[in-house]
Amino acid sequence: MNFLVDNQLPPALARFIQTEFKLRAVHVIDVGLRDASDAEIWSYLSKSDSPLRSKDEDFVNMVLQLPTAKLIWIRFGSCRKAFLLDQFRRMWSRIPERLESGDRLIEIG
């Protein structure tokens, strides 16, 4: 399973997913989408079949329009990186199984 991490979240989250859970994860910066619009990120996402991790509510509406899209919607307000990574560590056990069972929108926070 591959993951794409959006701009509102730190690149450290992609590295954390790679090292902690041994899964492929990239930040939008890593794939040349640092200044991309939501539509450009969405286009990349729809071609890569990667679940997106984002705080951007606009993607919630988009995920409902594309039957193959998956979104892990982060609902924490502004928070420190350590808090964010700790929350992922604590909640991770349920995320892959939900994605594999067909959940397309997973809300965290």
The count of structural domains within the chain is: 1
Q: Is 64's pLDDT higher than 90? A: no
Judge whether 54 and 107 are in contact, CB under 8 Å: no
Q: Which two tokens stand for residue 29?
A: 């910066």
Domain that holds residue 41: 2-108
Give 2-24 as a DSSP string.
EEEE-TTS-HHHHHHHHHHH--E
What's the whole-model pTM score? 0.86
| Averaged confidence pLDDT in the chain | 89
Residues facing 52 on adjacent strands? 4, 71
Strand order in the sheet with 2-5: 24-27, 2-5, 52-54, 71-74, 105-108
Domain harbouring 60, CATH code? 3.40.50
pLDDT at 68 over 80: no
> Can you read off the two tokens belonging to residue 45?
């996402």
